[in-house]
Structure 1
Amino acid sequence: MTTTRKPGERAGLTPEIVFAAARELLAEVGIEAMSMRGVAKRLGVAPNALYAHVVSKQDLVDHLLDDVLSAVDTQVATQDPSSALQALMVDTYDVLLLHAALLPAFLVRQGARGDNARRLGDGVKTHLESASVPAERVDQAVHVLIIHTIGFAAFASHPNIDSNGYEQPPAVLRRDFTVGLKWLIFGMLDC
C-alpha cells in the first residue's frame, strides 16, 4: 500500500525538528519578528513544509510554550497543600527562567495552552481544592498564581536595578518571588 506523504513529511521534518528550529529563531529575533518563513528558511525548506506539523505561527508558538511546561514536575511529594502549591509554582518559575527567551511570548499569550499547561493548571487546582479554597474561587486563584509566576520570571530575566542604582542579584529576585508567593497562597487559603 502506498501512502501519500504531506509536504513536511517529504522534507524529512518532524515536529521536534520544527519546534527546535522555531525555538532557536524565537530566542534570536523575538516573537514579533519570528515567522513561518523564517523557520522554513532556517530548516532549508519551503514554508508550506511546516504546515504538515503546525497550522499557523500562533499554533507554533503555542506548541513551543506548552513544550517548555513539560519540564515542570507536577507530582509534588507533600501532603500540605500550601507547601505543594509553593513547590509547584517555584518549579514553574525555575523552568520559565531556563527559557527566558520565550517569556515575552508567555506574556503576550498570557500563559500557555496545551496538554502540559492543562496538567499544570490541574495540579494547582488539586492543591487549592485540597486546601478547601471555595470552588468558585479556584479558577481565579490559579490565574493569580500563574500571573505572579510568569510576571516575576519575566522581571527576573532582565537586569533589575534597585532604587540605589545597583543591579539586584537573581537570589534577591527569587527571594522576592517566593515571599510574594507565600503571601498569595496564605491569602488564598485564608479566604
Structure 2
Amino acid sequence: MPRTPGQRAGLSHDAVLTAARTVFAERGLPGLSMRSVAGALGVAPNALYSHVADKNALVDALLDDVLGALTPPAPDTDPVGGLRAVMLATFDLLAEHPDLVPLYLARQGARGPHARALGAAMVVLLARLGLDDAAAGRVVRALIVSTLGYAALATADDANLNPPELRADLEVTLDWIVRGAVS
C-alpha cells in the first residue's frame, strides 16, 4: 500500500499538534494555518492532510488534545462528586490555557474523542442519579456552558475578576445545576 505524503515526511498526528500548539502560541488563530504549521515542521502543506483535513479540523484536534489531560470520572464514583471534580478540573485546565478559552467558546466546547469520553462518563454518572439520556444531555450542556463561562471570566484581561473566587462560584453553580436536575 502506498504511503501518504504525511507518512513519507515522517510526520505523526502528535507532531502536527505539537507544531500547531507552537504556531498558535506565537501567532494566535489568525497566524495558524496549514501552511504555517507545515513551515514549522519543514514540510510541504500537503503532508499535513494525512493527519488533519483542514484548519478547522486542526483547531478541533488542538482543543481536544488539551482535554486529553483530564481523566473521565469512573462510573462507580459518587455521581455528584465526580461531576463536580471533572468540571473543576476542566476549569483549572482552561485557566492554564487562557489563549484557548475563546476557541472553546466559539466552538461551544470540543468535539473530539477526549471530549466525547468526558461527556459519556458524565452521562453515566447522571444516569446513576436517575436522569434519562435526554435530560442527562441537557445537564451536561449546562455544566459545560457554566464551566466555559467561568473560565472565560477567570482568564479575561479584567483586573477586577478574581480567579479563585470565580472557581468557588463555579463550584456552587455546579451543585445547583446537578441538584436542580435531580430534584
Task: State the TM-score, normalizing by the size of structure 2.
Answer: 0.90
Matching residue of 2:95: 97
Q: Give aligned pairs, total.
A: 183
- Pairwise CA distance, 1:159: 3.1
Does residue 25 (structure 1) correspond to residue 18 (structure 2)? The answer is no
Cα distance, 1:77 vs. partner?
8.5
1:45-70 alpha-carbon deviations (Å, 9 max, x no partner)? 21111112111111111111111111
Name the CA shift for 1:136/1:15 in 2 (closer, same or farther; >3 Å). Answer: closer
Contact 1:78 1:84 (8 Å CA) reproduced? no
Of 60, 63, 73, which aligns to 2:61? 63
Q: Which moved more, 1:90-99 or 1:51-60?
A: 90-99
Larger radius of gyration between Structure 1 and Structure 2: 1
Distance 1:52 1:79 in 2: 39
Partner of residue 108 from structure 2, selected from 107, 110, 113: 110
Paired with 1:37 and 1:23, the residues of 2 have a C-alpha distance of: 14
1:119 matched to 2:117: yes
The range that moved more, 19-28 or 134-143, is 134-143
Counterpart residue type for residue 182 of structure 1: D
Deviation of 1:134 (Å): 4.1
1:13-39: per-residue Cα shift (whole Å, max 9, x none)? 211111001012222333344211111
Counting only pairs closer than 5 Å after superposition, residues 176-191 of structure 1 correspond to structure 2 as: 176-190=169-183
Q: Aligned partners of 1:78 and 1:138: how far apart in 2?
A: 17
Flag the 1:144–1:38 CA change in 2: closer, same or farther, 3 A.
same
Contact 1:160 1:168 in 2 (8 A): yes
How far does the alpha carbon of each residue in 1:70-91 deviate from its partner, in whole angstroms, 9 at most, with x for none?
Answer: 1112135874321121112111
Q: After superposition, what is the alpha-carbon deviation per residue over 1:82-139, rounded to whole angstroms, capped at 9, x for unaligned? A: 1121112111212222222221221111111121111100111011111112443111
**Structure-2 residue corresponding to 1:164:** none
**1:74 alignment partner in structure 2:** 72
Rate the CA distance shift 1:149–1:106 in 2: closer, same or farther, 3 A.
same
Unpaired runs of 5+ residues, structure 1, are: 162-166
CA contact 2:153–2:161 (8 Å) conserved in 1 = no
Distance 2:58 2:133 in 1: 33
Q: Match of 1:168?
A: 161
**Amino acid paired to 1:131:** L
Q: Tell me which residue corresponds to 1:49.
A: 47
Relative to structure 2, which stretch is displaced further, 88-97 or 137-146?
Answer: 88-97
Q: What is the alpha-carbon distance in structure 2 between the residues aligned to residue 62 and residue 35 of structure 1?
A: 13
Amino acid aligned to 2:85: A
Report the 3-state secondary structure (helix = DSSP H, G, I; strand = E; otherwise coil) of the residue aligned with 2:72.
Answer: coil
